[in-house]
Amino acid sequence: MTKQQTITFVTETLEALYPETPVPLTHKDPYTLLIAVLLSAQCTDERVNKITPLLFAEADTPQEMVQLEVEQIKAIIRPCGLSPRKSKAIHELSQILLDKHAGEVPQSFEDLEALPGVGHKTASVVMSQAFGVPAFPVDTHIHRLAYRWKLSTGKNVVQTEKDLKRLFPEELWNKLHLQIIFFGREYCPARGHVPNACPICSKIGRKSLFI
């Protein structure tokens, strides 16, 4: 396949398999999405979705969250891993939202990435899924598949994001990143992957797109 043929094939295959792309993390507003995405670092969405109802039953707004002790948050979110760091970040960012943003989640990458525990990937998820701003959050699934599909050199997630943004139309980014995640989980896992049985890998040739 040529580069453009590969891009078209990937886009059409993903759209056929995943015409609907619900956000995997359970949430009700930008704040609860922000907290859920923060908790998902080095943790599965499935586990996060089991823990967030427990946390949000205690506090699902910045105002309520700052009333909890960091140790209380830590005890609830412990199954998600990295609980000392995540609990402190949740408490601190909630206070910053109250102090600097009138209790609202800011709608800019700069302000989001200035919050404790919020990196570029987390900010990208919130901007795309909470506010509809075009973004291409790159997680381990997307990084892995972009390399397998020869859409990126695979050097790091920063380069992968740049490559994918260059190759795909901006209007597809918000949906496409979720479609790739779903596909990676179902057909293209990190371990036990069978390329010949994969709906996309089986059709993409070995020749690199970067020539």
| Contact assessment for residue 135 and residue 174, using Cβ atoms and an 8 Å cutoff | yes
Distance from chain centroid for Cα 201 = 22
H or E stretch covering 53: helix 45-58
SS3 annotation, 69-125: CHHHHHHHHHHHCCHHHHHHHHHHHHHHHHHHCCCCCCCCHHHHHCCCCCCHHHHHH
Which residues are identified as catalytic? Answer: 121, 139
159: amino acid identity, one letter: Q
Distance from chain centroid for Cα 182 = 11
